[in-house]
Amino acid sequence: MINLPQKVRLTEVGLRDGLQNESRFLSTADKITLIRMLAIAGIEEMEVTSFVNPSVVPALADAEQVMDGIRDLEIRRISLVANDRGYERALAARVDAITFVLSATDMHNRANVNRSQKDSIEMLERMAKRAHDDDIEIRLAISVAFGCPFEGNPGLSTILRLVETMVQRGFFRIGLCDTMGVANPQQVFDWTRAALTSFSDVEWELHFHDTYGRGLANILAGLQAGVSRFDASIGGLGGCPFAPGATGNVSTEDVVSMLDGMNLSTKVDINRLLEASDFVASKFARRLTSNLWQVRQSQCSA
């Protein structure tokens, strides 16, 4: 029998990681509607936006307006922040938690946030102290952890050294992100087990893109290794503008469907979730990459 956690916590990242890669702008009102639909479906934690330079990520230029429109919801509102200016905006918008990003390689870090990895570490140390003083939860996403488009596989030892550096700087909720979707289940299991063994006081989470169709298999490997927190994106939206070749995230619908079939609790209503998928598909006027959504569409048209 496979030994798995009985409760799995999902963080919806479609509103941030998903929309940042879409060429069509989703209106503020539609973003708010989508967040409300996801909340009704049972999603309790979401990366609802990103406080970054609007000229760099125009799809999320309305971060403050989105936050204002979801103030009444009983969800955990997370935003991504890349610098001090973004932190000030997030603080003023009264976010519940902040995601900071650090790449596992220097070349991707420069492409992603326009600074060296060393400079990012120094900045993040300062910002972690600020967040602690401001009583805001922080989480760290380590991008391209399993493979980088510029430098290849960073190696497990590199990841463990980087984690040790960031734990020393106050980060205890850390996500390993397969930004390129190149990880495989054996790698995920081995690396995640090593991370859990080496840093038992860290709250670990995993973030997978589905470039080669391995997303669900990698989630299962993460579950087997002992992780119970995962990111997912409605409709499989996503990609990284600064990682050539990256495609969408593993879809929330497919993750919930798989976990439901394994009798693992997510507290998410799959039918309500598919209503949110239909809303997304209607706004972007295209088929979603979610396998479950595509099957439902085929059944409805048969």
In the chain, helix, strand, coil percent, each to 5?
45, 20, 35
β-strands 173-178, 137-143 pairing: parallel
Burial of 15 (0-12, 13-18, 19+ CB in 10 A): buried
Burial code of 46-57, b = ≥16 C-beta within 10 A, e = fewer?
bbbbbbbeeeeb
Contact 85, 55 (CB under 8 A): no
CB-based contacts of 150, cutoff 8 Å, min separation 6: 105, 107, 108, 111
Cα separation of 199 and 271, whole Å?
37
Contact 17, 233 (CB under 8 A): yes
> Is 177 designated active site?
no
CB-based contacts of 1, cutoff 8 Å, min separation 6: none
Of 148, 177, 240, 300, the active-site residue reads 240
Contact 15, 31 (CB under 8 A): yes
Could you give the residue numbers annotated as active site?
A: 240
